Structures are given as structure tokens and as C-alpha cells.
Amino acid sequence: MALNPLGVLDLSIVTELLIQAINTAWSESPLWETVVSEAFFTPKVTGLTPDAVRKDDGCQVTVTLVHLEPNRSQRNFVYPQTPPGVTNPPAPRAQMIPALPLGLDLYYFVTAYSADPNNASVQEQQAISIILKCFHENPIIRTNVVFPGSPSEAVQEEFTLTMEIESVDSISRFWQATTVPFRLSLMYRVAVVFLTPPAPPATAKQVVKYTLAVDPTPFPFAQNGQVFGTSSTATFLAPPTSQAAASPVSIDYSPATVTPGQQFFLYGAGLNQGTDYTGPAPNPGTSYRVYLLLPPDYKTEQEVTSWAVPDADPKNPVQTASRIVLALPGTLGSLPANTPPAGVYSLRVGSQAPPDEITNRTNSTPFSIAARVDTTASPSDPVLIPAAETYTVTGLGFIPGNTEVLLETVPLAYVTGTPGAGQFAVPDAKTILFQPPANLPSGVYGVRVRVNEVESPPTVWISV
């Protein structure tokens, strides 16, 4: 049976610790410097009861465990145990029996008896004097306990040692229960001594994510549909290093940041309700068309339902009541057949008359369109190679005068002609030419492209 490394399995360990403390203090006691050398004696210290040693010769000191009781402060013991790998563990809780350790207070009856007919009273009182000084100066007892199954891992335990105040009547009743005459005696309490429990059951896994809802309302709030947000995923090749080759990396954007030809998601509830139809119908639907709201005031809308990705498998549709999958056209130009210029836009869903009988619009949610940056000719190496110190970035959607280029955090200056050191030019919507600054420190730099203040996903790097 697996054990919790706590406490002791054997109460006699505590008794032996008290006996060892007395034996150590005996030889080191300054009392012997005040008496003649012939007066020195060594008692026999045991854990027996007083009546068991009365027939033995010499001085006998007994440290007898006469009573124990549960410790009142440890009845709901909490063992602070942190599972491996958990940096923010939950608050510990009290264990159930048998994993709850039994906390005990041990009561020891300490007395001395000497059979020396001439010095009995002196030896008994000297023994008690040394014990009093020893226990008073060592109120905490420490020891290392080795448990089965882990012989190389000793666990440190410690107990408090305090004298208990007993009335004359109380101590007299104890002596009356024995078969020997009354002697000078003491009562000591050792606490808290835990009896080693079994190992506690495995703890629950750490909470990774939780959601708090106060008086939640079922979605959608509006019965004619509602949109919550957008998301997209960009995958690129990280530049190779001395330790590893180029490897693919994926990053998620929410709100979505999309480039021409890329898919993204519009999330909500009550979506795709209804379809186009011919002829009258009692309920043509309210949320099966997608509308793009155009900057700068987002009051002008353009229907872009054609951007919705068709369901290739009716049994496993991509378009659901909680998601509309959209794909930007791969070309730039007029809507809806093309992708508009880079910028921040909004989407909403609804229906329209005619021919629909119901006209509806949901709330809107933002997303960004970015210029597309293409990979190099060698997809396995995203690091650009210069031609006569000039680098070329290809893609789609670059706008002269509204494009920014940065090498990590180092901005380049825009020029309309041939770029020099630290400059870039945009000769057309598909090309950027640039040269890094002359004093740029050696290293690998990501090429960051922004058009209309929307930054494109990372794609290419340069090595200086």
C-alpha cells in the first residue's frame, strides 16, 4: 500500500527520541561540575512502567506513555500537496478517512527511582533536575523518518514537548493505579504526532479554462440572428536556424486578418436561416445573406454572399447555424467579385426585399483585410535573396503612399524612385523593392508590410 510520507508508523519512535534526549543531556549536564566525581552515576532510562523496574539495581528513569488522545486542532488536517507541473494549484482541501491522518497528543509519565540506600533521594532528584533542564531547553523534537518503499528519502518530522500541569489529586490517582510507592514524577505532552495515512487519491487535473455566466440568456439574443466575431488562421514558414530547418508555424487572428484568396470564419447564432427562392413563401428566412460594411463610416453596405464557401458534402456542411465560412476572391477590384483594398471592415448577415418578404439586419462585427505577401520561389526557405543589395517582395494589394515596410522594429523610408539604403518603393500593386539600412546589425529580420495600417501576416525574412 502506498503511503503518504507524513508522521510515523510506530509510536515507540517518539519514546526513543525522549530517551535519547535524556541520555545525551546526562553526560553533558553542568550539574556534575558541582559535585565530587564519586557522586556521578548513570541511570538506566527506559520506556517501561515504574513498577517494572523497582527490583533492578541502580537508578532507574522511566519515560512511560500512559495516555493519548486526538489533537483537537487537527481533526480536519489539510496536507499541502502540489501536483507536479502545476504552477497555480488550487487551495488544498481536507482529506477523507483513511487518507486523513490521525493527529495525536501523547502523554508521558516521567519518574526516577534509586535503589541506593544511602543516596536514593539525592539521585532521584538529580535525575529529575537534569530531565527538567533537558526538556525545557529542547521544546521541539526533530527526527528523520524513513517510510517503506522510499528508503533513500527520509522525511523530517517535528513535535512539541511541553510540561503538563497536573493537580496533586490527579497525580495521586495515577500512583494509586500502580503497585509501587509514590515517587517524584512529571507529566509531559508530545504533540502533534500523526499516524502515517495511506497516500491520498490522485488530485483532479488543474482547471485550464473556465467560463462565468450570471443569469445566462440562450443564444441568439435576437431571434432573427446574431453575429459574435470573426477568426482566421495564417500558416507560414519560420526561418531556418543553425539547429533546425524552416518549419511551418500557425497563428490565429480574432478578429480575422485575411488576405486575398484566404478563407475565414464568421461566428454567431441563428445564421443561415432561409435560402433564395422563387415565388411567394411564408418564411423565406432572415440571416442567409452576408453584407460588408465599408469604411470610413460603415454606413454603406455591399452584399458579399457570393464569398460564402459552398457545401461540398451535404452530410457534413461547412455552413451551420453558428458559422459562416467565407473566402476572399483572389483578385483586387470592384465588389463582390473582387477583394476590396486593405483596411478594417465589418460584416453582418440578414435578408433583403425584393424578392424576400422579410428585410432584416443583424449586428455587425469587424475584421481586417491585409495585403498578401507571397513566399519566395523556394517554399522551403522563406529568407529573401537580394539582387544587387535590393530585395523584392511580391504579393497583392500594395498601395503606393499607403504602404509601410519595417524590418522587425526598424522602419524604412518610402520613396517614389529607386530605393537606397534604408528605403523602399512600391512600383505597382504586386511589388515592393527595398534595401536595409547600411548600419543594420547582423541577424535575421522579419519583413513587416502594412497597407492602410493593417499589417499582413508574417511571410518572409532577410538575413543580414
Mean pLDDT, rounded, of the chain: 86
At residue 215 the predicted structure's pLDDT band, cuts being 50, 70 and 90, is low
- 93-145 residue pLDDT tens: 666 777 788 889 999 999 999 988 888 999 999 999 999 999 999 999 999 88
Tell me whether the omega of the peptide bond preceding residue 426 falls within 30 degrees of 0, making it cis: no
Instruction: Decide the pairing of beta strands 257-258 and 365-369.
Output: parallel
At residue 212 the predicted structure's pLDDT band, cuts being 50, 70 and 90, is confident
Q: How many CB atoms lie within 10 A of CB 89?
A: 12
Element (H, E) at 24: helix 12-28
Among 30-39, 275-284, 355-364, which stretch is predicted with the lowest mean pLDDT? 275-284
- Domain topology for 373-463: Immunoglobulin-like (2.60.40)
Cα–Cα distance measured from residue 219 to residue 215, given in angstroms and rounded to the nearest whole number: 13
pLDDT: which is higher, 377 or 179 = 179
Say what the pLDDT of residue 277 is.
45
- 286-307 residue pLDDT tens: 888 999 999 999 999 999 999 9
Say what the pLDDT of residue 93 is.
66
Q: Provide the residue ranges of all domains of the chain, joining segments of one domain with +.
A: 12-83+90-195, 226-369, 373-463
- Give the chain's end-to-end CA distance (angstroms, integer): 63
CB 197 within 8 A of CB 3: yes
CA distances from 75 to 43, 157, 164, 315 (A): 39, 19, 22, 60
Closest-CA residue to 15 (of 57, 44, 42, 47) = 47
The three cell numbers locating residue 253: 487572428
Please determine, for residue 421, whether its predicted confidence score (pLDDT) is greater than 50.
yes
Prediction pTM value: 0.54
Say what the pLDDT of residue 279 is.
42
The residue type at 310: P
Question: What is the gyration radius of the CA atoms in the chain, in angstroms?
Answer: 43
